[in-house]
Chains A and B, each alone.
Chain A
Amino acid sequence: MPITRQFTGPVRRRTLLRAGTLAAGAGLLARPSIVRAAKRYSIAVIPKALDNPVFYYAHYGAQKRAAELGDVDAIWTASTTSDASEEAQVLSGLVSRHVDGMAVDANAPQPLIAPINQAIAAGIKVITWDSDVPESKRPIFYGVDSYKMGQALGEQTIKFMGESGTVILVSGGPGATNLNARLKGATDTLAKYPGVKTLGPFFHYDDLVKAQELTNNLLVSHPDAGALLIVAGVPFFGKMSALPQVIKNKGKVKIISTDVLAPELPFVADGYVQALVGQDYWGWGYQSVSILYNLLTDPHCNYPALVPQAMPVVTADNVKEWIAKWEQAKTPEGAAEAFKEPPIGCM
């Protein structure tokens, strides 16, 4: 890529100073401009954890956008567990490395306020995605409005269950801001219907086996409930055979859940789950890198505080289309084609 980028005065002086220091260290004092010319942007994308399948496509998306831009190194890193304190350490490490940009998905907001503000004070561009840290100084949150997602889950529940019945609420962990906002959106929507009663929430702590156990247990113990409203769709990430009670239930207690991932779709196709409300997983990585790159390279670039994402809903009506989409997305190249979207420019 030709070096045509214009730097503002102070940035140029800082960059030259840094470049000069580097060059001096390498014995290349006379050629600082060459070091500047080789500038590449290191953008770290930090999911809540490394193993959750919803994040694979964010990873692919980040890599794809970095490849398209050419002068970006996308760093994919996270704490090994969904733990905000560990995540705070990861962020502090990235501040020490002085990456150029960070896109953070927060396990919990409070422990991340300090490291995010510390990064911003160090001149690093920081945005949040998926789960926000609203009290930090981050300028942008890219993701669905979790409260609205909860409302959508509540509306789907009413659509399939009707306007009366007991709705059992299931979530991941009690500390995640986005899951709590989804719960609030769902319960506020359900509260509009006097015939609807809620029970819970029950937590599966994002552990697949525990989530399957909890789902089976809830269906055994509440066979007369109207619906199971799950704001973190982990129970359906494994095999159908691990959910015998869901199979036995076969749509009697309506099941409304989140995420529109490949392992979940057979549950909808076979009538075990009535609706899934998802997010743009590809965009988490692809658009986060786009937004940060624009912020890094264009000093006049602006975005609103919430850059909204699409919120797909999968039901029996469109499940085949989504199954085909995921079939295509089995490789990173296929995913790029299946979830193709234009990069978000400055607003």
Chain B
Amino acid sequence: MRRLLAELVLVPWAGVLVGLVVVAAVVSVMSPYFLTFGNILGNVALYFSWFAIAGFGEALVMIGGGLDLSVGSAMGFSGMIAALVLTAGLPLWLAILAGLAAGAFVGFVNGIAVTRLSLNPFIATLATLGIFRGISYGIVQGQAITPASNAAGTEFAALGTGALFHVPAPVIVMIVLAVLLYVALNHTPFGRHVYALGGNEGATRLLGLDVRRLKMTVYIISGLTAAIGGILLTARAGTALPDAAEGYELQVIAGVIIGGVSLAGGQGTIPGVLIGAALLGVISNGIVLAGLAGYWQQLITGLVIAAAAALDVLRQRLAYLRAA
């Protein structure tokens, strides 16, 4: 047991995993409905899936030493573009492609602002947060865009409401993306370069790596993952609202940080991000299941975030002591 604990402190996402297990245990004691197959997959996992998906791209940006505040706007903008293409009577694949291109474009603009205009990532992505939210409102004049219930519209809705062996489609997409990005980050030169960039940008440049290109790539990936989350969210809701995913960037970033990604860059893992998003999903679901009045939800969420972060600091100290 001591040996297991000693090993566990070395795992970067161990702190948040312990937090998740504790919160899940508390909720399952408070409500018999929590630990049911339908609730875990059909409610908890489904509703944190788009936060986790957008979080994967956000994590790459943050591990590389940047920050992307525009993920919520990119989610809403991409979903809106996909819905508009569908409403124009074009096929589903084109709608998805257009939505992904919209997200990649947001990432590209962020990349240009950070690498070519040398803007601070916070300012650059704060600006694009406003710009792309504004475009979403402007192009539809505040109206909701609801794809028609034709073949393409029904297939689109299935992206958000369909399931394979009772696992909701967005959860499957989340797992596939988690595996892909885990491999990319841990088993490819690209991943090593991203860690190096966030750890020490100057040294990375001295190694001869194209820092600008690397930054541009992580921002575009962040735009793409936000787009995937946004398209799934829109498909699930059945309608694209210009304020869809408004403010979601805070929950995405909270999940990423709880999952052990350092705001200073150079540290973080994809499994950690997944668990961080899951923890926030369990809290949101648990408060409803436990029958706690909504007035306390934000307080409880804040306390759990603080506790999870404190747990991770403790883990890091133990790991440091063990290494010493």
Give residues in A with beta carbon < 8 Å to B: 49-51, 53, 55-56, 80-81, 171, 174, 199-203, 207-209, 212-214, 216-218, 220-222, 237-242, 244, 263
Can you name the residue of chain A whose Cβ is closest to the Cβ of B39? Answer: A220
Pairs A-B, 8 closest by C-beta atoms:
A239-B238, A50-B142, A203-B294, A221-B289, A238-B238, A202-B294, A217-B288, A241-B161
Q: A178–B100 Cα gap in the complex (Å)?
A: 39
Cross-interface CB contact of A239 among B43, B157, B293, cutoff 8 Å:
B157
A217, A222, A240 — most chain B CB neighbours (10 Å): A217
Roughly how many angstroms separate A344 CA and B284 CA in the complex, as a whole number?
A: 46
Q: How many A-B residue pairs have CB under 8 A?
A: 102
Q: What residues of chain B lie closer than 8 Å to A49, measured between beta carbons? A: 243
User: Interface on chain A toward B: helix, strand, loop, or mixed SS?
Assistant: helix
Q: Across the interface, which residues of A come within 8 angstroms of B43, CB to CB?
A: 213, 216-217, 220
B236 touches A50 (CB 8 A): no
Q: Are B294 and A81 in contact (CB under 8 A)?
A: no
Q: Smallest CB–CB gap between B50 and chain A, Å? A: 8
* Contact (Cβ within 8 A) B144 A53: yes
Question: What separation, in Å, do the CA atoms of A210 and B161 have in the docked complex?
Answer: 15
CA distance A238 to B293 in the complex (A): 25
Q: How far is the CA of A203 from the CA of B289 in the complex (A)?
A: 13
Query: Nearest chain B CB to A21's CB is how many angstroms away?
Result: 34
Contacts of B38 in A (CB 8 A): 220
A217 and B291 within 8 A (CB): no
Q: How far is the CB of A44 from chain B (nearest CB, A)?
A: 15
Chain A hits for B146, CB < 8 A: 239, 263
Question: How distant is the Cα of A49 from the Cα of B143 in the complex, in angstroms?
Answer: 11
A residues less than 8 Å from B36 (CB atoms): 220
Residues on B with beta carbons closer than 8 Å to the beta carbon of A240: 238
**Cα–Cα, bound, A174→B133 (Å):** 25
Q: A207 to chain B: which residues have CB within 8 Å?
A: 243, 246
Q: Is the CB of B31 within 8 A of A238?
A: no
Shortest CB-to-CB span from A245 to chain B, Å, is: 9
**Residue from A202, A220, A242 in contact with B161 in the complex, judged by beta carbons closer than 8 Å:** A242
- A171 and chain B: residue at smallest CB distance: B294
Residue B233, interface by CB 8 Å: yes
* 20 A-B pairs whose Cβ atoms sit less than 8 Å apart in the complex: A50-B137, A51-B242, A53-B144, A56-B143, A171-B294, A200-B291, A203-B294, A203-B295, A203-B297, A209-B47, A209-B236, A216-B42, A217-B39, A217-B43, A217-B289, A220-B39, A238-B237, A239-B157, A242-B160, A242-B238
